[in-house]
Structure 1
């Protein structure tokens, strides 16, 4: 199913253990964007390098006790920002409360994020199909918040070659997946040139994880 909208996007099941919460973060949008700007002033956005030496098209930074990093040594979580040599900025309370509320709404109780990966997409950026498996505890869900211009979320299957569905994500949408869907392959299709009143041509994504 491509370009999945559904008449009622308030709670849209994707697979067992995965759902789209349409507009769930909409009311928090301005506060979330202000927090992103504050975090980026301390830990600037950067384009990480994959272990294979490829520059990622998505710019990113982190907030929380741990941050996700990538370089020639591999993918991992670290308490120190390699660009500044300092601890990552603390996770804002609005981040923690929103992610916990979204997880509970998706029936994942007692979620407590340790890391928030903040991705910034510009036109032409994309995120290839992948699994989130760098976390030690795969029993905890992933909570993903979309802000800014629309994006096509690729929701695949258990194998990389499984044909993904394309799901339009709008400003304020939240996707939660865990349980049997925890290792589903997913990504973001190439971002089109567009504009949003709050973010211009950018899309921001907050991804909350329990890493240890």
Structure 2
């Protein structure tokens, strides 16, 4: 499916999560398409290990499972996408391209599930307290940008809404990621949501 896609080059394939980091070291891919189910080290543990490294590749988790725990663990670990295996091949190829371009990607079923979980509020108090403490590390403008990211706004939309330039928004997003030890906009959005700021 990916081998015939224009502009995508497959540089390696791993049979187990334990093989991922050495292959990333050897080939420096832009995107890793990660299965959850693998024999020794599962894809979630491999994603956590990979995304905790300096300058890691983007990760799309590809799986037949869409349980809340799997989705949230993958996104909190820094995965930029979560795509179900029954997704049409063309959409999976497009997900790889979008994640390589810096856009997060979630299958519609996964998005619905996250919305339902947020609406349910399970475990909300503990998460809200922890998330609030982390957001308190941000300056006022950074916090405004973080909330806008949580609302799914693009850099251009944030710039227009907060009367700043797009480069300034990008600078704020970079500072937010650095201050909070996060990897991507999805993690900012999850944290803002957990804090009850949306």
Q: After TM superposition, is the score higher than 0.5?
A: no
Higher relative contact order (CA 8 A, sep 6+): 1
Kindly indicate which of the two structures has a greater share of residues assigned to helix. Answer: 2
Kindly indicate which of the two structures has a greater share of residues assigned to strand. Answer: 1
Q: What is the TM-score normalised by the length of structure 1?
A: 0.24
